[in-house]
Structure 1
């Protein structure tokens, strides 16, 4: 999620020269987007990995289809899991995953929570889970959608990302009643090796190398940071996997560390998923799956632990 500081045009051309698509210093046109799209190959199956799990959860949830992405020749139904005992007098807890399709534990952590933990909140909270918001990107292990758009910068009116627009339409009737929203993400080594360079190339801007933090952290909302909430989630996850330390500048991905494992972003002005409701408590998780100190199972468990801690805090504090 880092911002890229300004640089000179010559610096931009030097830094971007290695990226195989586009002309350094010039934003992509539809030609470059099409060229980029042609390089994206399916590497895993949304149907096998996600839809099959959702099918097993039908006895426990109302499965709501909230849209379909028609990216010829592919078509992807979008599903959310909704508490069967939904009551208007209960607070609503929203869990979203897979906004960035390549961030695997965001998807599977949401599904793990659905499988193992939602029964704990029956009669206490409404739970709504959208586990894989970007299935085209999930299959191609990519950050962007088919149009080379980042869905997690596109949660705004007249969104250019169909994934973001579909989720916003689902949430719109519930927006004011959401007490807690947790959006599950990862920060990966490929952010630095592929996705940030691709972003710079796409936008015709300089690529500034950054540092990938080793460990879990949270991104709170700088407009309403709720530090006690953020720290409660970090404390729960610390029992599962390690928390990312600040770098030499006291930062994580270019943002000031305000508490162990916590930074803040202006989520709504950036068009981030965490800003789509009026929830009092909102946060974005960031798991580090490439750490030698974490297994895929730990990453999924860390996401599920974060969800449980977030709901528990919200229920306790109201």
Structure 2
């Protein structure tokens, strides 16, 4: 049987196919190397991401203050309360929030013949959605906004622990009485010695009894990572009330304590030192509880 003739083109086609196969293998190896490089880059970017905050959840706010702390902050008229009444009084009323891992709160109120006291606790967990900004840094930005809004005097600092008391409350009350007396005289007294009708005091915001002392609004330098205290005396037609606020940050959590006392008798001004000491004591207790 005659042998088929050899066709050179077929050999060339086979050679080309072999070369293409070798090239394909080489290209596949290069693709794998590129994927490895991409994965390495992702790992590097991930390692450079900002650290998450310490807190990923929040505790139940109403259960944080100790019962003894609440009894001191919400004193009565000396009367005893039953177990059921005490549970309702000191159990507090929880705030309604949509995400209890991001924000929780609680409030307490006690009315007495001397006035009414309110205590409010707000706890916020701050989360940064920017990979270049840590949760702690974002929380510090939020804290700074609160401090700026409170208009805390620059350079005003103090210890977070109850320290040396300011001038006595009696002196503060005497000063307030003298100021009121001078205001009455300034309005005029008729020749018969009768004073004219005085206008009702309008609502006004005043600093604490001792603006230059330890009760003045200030930054607290030993409470959490950052903290400040604000103190305002409000005088209105319905009475007077002193509002003390302590705000502190620990990692990515910001806690706000609002504590006030109302008095229907304008001659009985709420004691700034007492309210501040109790609010700061609660703040120190909360820092320890959150650190556990």
What TM-score bracket applies, with the shorter chain setting the length?
under 0.3
Q: TM-score, normalization: structure 1? A: 0.19
Per chain length, whose mean CA-contact separation is higher, i.e. which structure has more relative contact order (CA < 8 Å, sep 6+)?
1
Q: TM-score, normalization: structure 2? A: 0.21
Larger Rg: 2
